[in-house]
Each structure stands twice: as structure tokens, then as C-alpha cells.
A and B are shown apart, each in its own frame.
Chain A
Amino acid sequence: MVRFKKRYNLAPYLFILPALLMLAVFIYYPIIQNFIYSFFRFSAFSPTKTFVGLDNFKNLLEDSVVRTGLVNNVRYAVISVIFQVFGGLVVAAILEDKLLRRVAPLLRVIYFMPVVISISVICFLFTFVYHPTVGLLNKFLELIGLKSLAKPWLGLPNTAPFAVIAVSQWQSIGYIMLLFVVAIQKIPQELMEAAEIDGAGRFRRFFSVTLPQVKETLFVTTLITVTGAFLVFNEPYILTRGGGPGTSSITLAVHMYLSGFFRDNMGYASTIAIVIFLITGVLGVLQATLFRTGKDE
């Protein structure tokens, strides 16, 4: 009886069953359903669906907006890794320096504040910052004698994508910074002291002690930032009214949303969703492999 209990102990499975069920219903089932939908053409208005085989995938390959969206997502990813991950790490390291110990708490709050503001509100505020005639940015450039650099930031195809990306950096750097602050605070003080006794300067301590010690956080934040960059929706949707002018600042998520809910082509939107799913999935696996870890060594 005891042996039977040991062999067929159901308790652990029963404990994980609710979580598994939730995952199955809210994550795996929609993913499979979305995959099936991508083989159909259908409208939100109509209950019937027409099987179109691989037509949606064929259209996807020919769709220049998908390419523009992908380019913008890559721009998001690269710029976000530079500014949010590396920028956040540098800011965190500076704030944790002995010199700033007194003002660090205040600065941490200041840097973190944009994170708690709704992205809709932030985008609304930045429409005033970027406004071509009365915007703060152009007025500031005018004030410091750089009027020639003033532009309709959200109205030009070569500035709109970067103006939108800049808003994300402004908002998210504080969050990443805080993760690094926690990681830096966890570094054993003896390591820093030993490096200091050995005559290592600030830069040397940063590269030889801080950076290796926050490797795990670096992995997590890079993963969050890069996958987040391929899911960006709010900023272009609000700031440039769905990725304008034209489609210059569009992202894959915006294109997916507009295909489904504006152009009423749900099947094609599902196909774009698969692309986003695959990209983020592959990136996650790739990063986990490259960093060779998912946990502390």
C-alpha cells in the first residue's frame, strides 16, 4: 500500500493542475487557435470563415508594411538595449557609487517616476513635446540657437520612428535601472573592497566586478527589453496615429492590430501574430543559449 502510494502519488500533479489548466486555456489554446485562424480569411462581422490555405503567409511575404514594421521593431530592440539596458546599468552603477550615496534615493525615485505613469498619458504629453509649432522640443532648440534643427518630429518619415522610440527609452530606463540597483546591492562588499585594495579604479571595478556580478540581471533585462521591443504597440499607435506618416513608424503589433480591427482581416492579423510569436520565441531561446544560463551560477 505504501509502495503504491509512493509510485502513484498524485498530490504534486494536483497542485500544478490549476496552473496547467490556466495556461492551457489562456495561453496554449489561443496560440493553437491563432495558428488555425491564419489559414482562413474572415471578418469580425461575419460568423463564417473561408479556408485560404497559405494565402495569408504568401501575402505576408509580399507585404512591404511587414518589412517596415520589422525594421522598426529591430530599431526598437537595438536602441532599447543600448539606452535601457546599458544606459540603465551605467545609471545604476553611478547611483550606487559612494559619492552619490546621499542623493541616490531621491535620484532613484526621479528616474523611476516615468515607469508608474500610464503610457497613454506619456504619449499624450509627448505629442506636446514634439508639436511642430508650439512643442517644447522645437522651442528649446530655438532658445539655444539651434532653430535650424527644429523639425516636425512626428511628421517626417526619417524622424518619426526615432521620436517614438525615444519616448519608450525615457519611460523604461528607470525600471531597468532599478533592477540593476538591486543586483548591484547584492554584490558582496568584500569583492569591491578587494578590488579597491588592489588599486582598481572606478572603471576597472565596473568592468571587472560589477559587470560579471550582474550578468544574470543583464540577461533578464536584455530578454525583457528585446522581446518587449517586438511587442511595442502603444507608443506608435497613440503618438503617430497607428504608425504614420504613411507607415513609416509602424510596428508589427500595430500592423497586426490594424489588419484585424481596422481593415477587418482577422485571418491575416493572425498570420502576423504568428510572426511576432516566432520572433519573440526564437529570441528568448537564443538569448538563453548565448548567456548559457537562466539562473545564478
Chain B
Amino acid sequence: MLRKHLGVGLLIVLLFTAVAPAFAQEEVVIRFFHRWPQEPRNSYFAALVKEFQELYPHVRFEVDYVLNDPYKEKIRVLVSTDELPHIFTSWSYSFAQNLVSSGRVKELSEFYAENADWAKDIMPAQIDGFRVGDGVYGVPMTIDGKAFFYNKAIFEKHGLQPPNTTDEFIALLDQLKALGYDMPIMEGLMDAWAVSHYLGTIFQRILDPAVMAKDYNPATGEFTDPGYIKGLEFFRTLTEYMGPIATAIDHETARNMFAAGEVPIVYMQFAEIKMLQRTGFNDFAFFNFPAFPDGKGNPNGLTGAPEGLMLAHNAPKEAEEFLKFIISYDNMLRFVEADGQFVAIWNCLPEDLDEVSLAAYNLVLESDEVVPWLDNAVNITIADIFMRGGQNLAIGVTTPEEVMAQVQKAAAELRKATNN
């Protein structure tokens, strides 16, 4: 009897061993690389990874993350190798174009078409930042805008009004200075990208869009328009109101000074609204970058380009599913609630959205033109000269003419390299 039972048992075990592999799915590894080691985003993505693994138990993740600048450097290296992560974050416009030029980023037109029901929730204008040639190479995740935030209490106390033109803006800064605010505006110029955010908007406001389109193209860029000098001069004027510490602090410190009421105005991204609110400071409003009286660019353009996700050319099917999982209405809503930054999904807003955030969201949607960050809009060598040049202007060791001479030289080399 015992032998019979033992035989049946053995038979079951043998059968199970033989049949089990047919049912078990082969393990799939997804390499995911993002640029948000800071909270609450890191925990948010960690939770998403865990939830996705519960849905797809055969998937194993290798997640890596580094901050902003190191991310730019690391992804540039990775994209030139076969070690490119399967799914990774990317800025739009020229940054995306550079990554795509490696030939290792997956073209997603078909993916969008196959998943039309999922894609209909995404704002089409934000997808444009990931178009290269006839193809689409990314899915936008976050959207943003940049504006001057001001301390409402200070403005109300002194009867000040947000300016409409740059002349009014300078007059306002003078007024604040006369009222005892030694640093009426602040920026963390130690962060070179902060310089590029200023210059990108200034050039867009001043220059003829046709000139900008020609210059921002590496094959045709000359940068000879006098508007650039004027723009750099205006930037230098603004830095004079920031005091000597601007080049010794980062943007986060400038934001904290604003939150502490030490400076009345700061140029900030809408993504930072929640960060300000977390400090307990809520008495602020914002105004778009003022128009230059004789500027040729659209004064209603809003600086701020989307950031999104890309897939490697060899990404497994599961990475595509993970991409859809991240950029889904429910998960994006959780993201907005946790982080505060707006996303490229229609009407993806928490019910209890505050007044300032709602106004910011509406400004993003209503702006006539998306102005990309300068370091995303032009070739990185040109952007770097502008960023370093901006810092040098702030510390008084160079002139706008010298900066433009360097830019023109680099543009000539770039033209030569691109057209060869």
C-alpha cells in the first residue's frame, strides 16, 4: 500500500517537474534609469516598480538613478553603448535629438498608433518635444513653466504691481532696492542651468523667431544678431540686483531665501510650487517674463519644456508595458498628488488644487508658445558658452561682446562639422 502511494506521489512529482517549465514564463530584466533620487519621486517610482512586478511576476528590475547633471553625463555615455537602459528619462528638444542620433533609441510612432486608446490622454503639443525628423522617440511625462514668483505681502505692503515690460521690471527692482531690499531678486547662479533658463527666455523675447530658428540649428547658426548682445546686457543688469552672493549659491538656496522672505522675487519653475508650500510659505503669486518694448519674439511664450521617457531599441515588450503603466492617468494623478509637478495627461489634477497651482497650470495650457530651456534648445557647446558666459558676466570678468565672439566661433566650427 505504502509502495503504491509512494509510486503515485513520485509520478505526480515527475509530471509536475516535466510540465512546470511550460507554464513558467522566462524571467525578463528591465533596466530602468531615472534622474530622481530625491523624495518624493524616488519612493514614488520604487512603488511603481513594485506594483508592476506584482502584475508581471516574471519581470525583474534593475533600477538606477542619479541627480540632474550627473544624469546628463551618464546617459550620454550609456547611449553610445549597448548598455543603454531599456527605459529611461529624457529632456525634450535638442537633448532628445542628441540621444536619438545615437541610433539606439526606439522610434515610437507605431507604439503610439497601436495604443491609441492609451495615447489619447496625452497632450499632443507636449509630444512635439520628442519629435525628431518624421519620428516620435519619447513619451512626455511632466510639463512645466517658468515665471517670476513674488512675495505678495511685500508687494501689497508697498503698493507694487507686477511689471508688463522689462523697463517696468527694472523700475520695480529699483523701487524695491530703495525700500531696503538689497537683493530684490535672487538666483542661484552657481547652477549653470539657471543661467540658461534666463537667457533662453530673454533671447526668445528679443529675437525674431526666424533668426532664432536659423541660429539654433547647428547647420546654419551664426549668432550675429545684435539682439544677443542686448539680451546678455539685460541679464547682466538683472544680476546686479542679485548682489555678490548669487554666484556662490545654488538655485535651491535662492528658493529658500524667497520662502524665508529674505528676497522678494525669484525666477522659478511651476514644479517648485509644492516645494515652496512645504516650507509653510504660501503668500506668493507669479508673473510671466515681461516683454521687451522692442522685442520681436512672442511675449506670451512660456519657458518650460516637457520631460519624458524613452525606450532603448532593444527594450523588451514588458518595458513598453511599464512605460504605459507609468504614463497612465491613475499613476500620473498619484504623481501629481505626491510631487506637485504637472503632467502631460489631460485634466490630471488633484481635486484640492490650490489657486496658485491652478493659475500656473492654466498658464502652461494657454501659452501661445513653448520656449525650450536654452540648454535643450541649442547645441550643448553653444549652451555651455552662454552659461559660463552668464556666470562671468555676473562676476564682471567678461563682456557680452566677448561672450558672443566665443559663441560665434563655436557656431562656425559647429556649422563646419555639421555640414561636412
Q: Which B residues lie within 8 Å of A156 (CB)?
A: 244, 247-248, 395
> Which parts of B207-260 form the interface with A (CB within 8 Å)?
244-250, 253, 257
- Select one of B76, B392, B397, B398 contacting A264, CB under 8 A: B76
Q: Are B191 and A132 in touch, CB under 8 angstroms?
A: no
| Interface status of A168 (Cβ within 8 A of chain B) | no
- The answer on a CB contact under 8 Å between B380 and A246 is no
Q: B99 touches which one: A45, A157, A245, A261 (CB < 8 A)?
A: A45
| Of A147-155, A199-207, A288-296, the one with at least 4 CB within 8 A of chain B | A147-155
- Closest beta carbon of chain B to A33's beta carbon, Å: 15
**Is A287's CB within 8 Å of the partner chain B?**
no
Q: Hey, which chain A residues are within 8 Å of B99, CB to CB? A: 45
Contacts of A246 in B (CB 8 A): 388-389, 391-392, 395, 397-398
Stretch of A20-28, A95-103, A236-244 contacting B (4+ beta carbons < 8 Å): A236-244
Known: A41-B417, A50-B417, A261-B76. A245 touches B381 (CB 8 A): no
Q: Count of chain A residues with Cβ under 8 Å from any Cβ of B?
A: 32
Is A265 part of the binding interface, using a Cβ–Cβ cutoff of 8 Å? yes
Query: Of the candidates B69, B101, B250, B388, which one forms a contact with A247 in the assembled complex, judged by CB atoms under 8 Å apart?
Result: B388
Known: A45-B98, A152-B245, A152-B247. A245 touches B190 (CB 8 A): yes
Size of the chain B interface, CB-CB below 8 angstroms? 38
Q: Check B117 for interface membership: any CB of A closer than 8 A.
A: no
Q: Which of B73, B102, B190, B250 contacts A46 (CB 8 A)?
A: B102
Minimal Cβ-Cβ distance residue in B for A154: B248
Known: A261-B76, A264-B76, A264-B380. A152 touches B248 (CB 8 A): yes
CB of B420 within 8 Å of the partner chain: yes
Contacts of A244 in B (CB 8 A): 190, 192, 247, 388, 391
Interface string of B80-109 (1 = CB under 8 A from A): 100000000000000000110111000000
Residue in B closest to A241 when the chains form the complex, CB atoms: B190
Closest chain-A Cβ to B106's Cβ sits at a distance in Å of: 15
| Cβ of A151 to closest chain B Cβ, rounded Å | 8
Residues of A near B79 (CB, < 8 A) are: 44-45
A262 in the interface (beta carbon within 8 A): yes
Cα distance, A241 to B244, chains bound together (Å)? 17
- Which residues in A have their C-beta under 8 angstroms from that of B384? 258, 262-263
Determine whether the beta carbon of A45 is less than 8 Å from that of B101.
yes
Q: A46-B102, A246-B388 are in contact. List 14 more A-B contacts (CB 8 A).
A: A43-B101, A45-B101, A130-B248, A131-B253, A132-B245, A155-B244, A157-B397, A240-B190, A245-B189, A246-B392, A246-B395, A247-B392, A262-B380, A263-B380
Binding site for A on B (CB under 8 A): 69, 72-73, 76-77, 79-80, 98-99, 101-103, 189-192, 244-250, 253, 257, 380-381, 384, 388-389, 391-392, 394-395, 397-398, 417, 420
Chain A residues near B (Cβ < 8 Å): 41, 43-47, 50, 130-133, 151-157, 240-242, 244-248, 258, 261-265
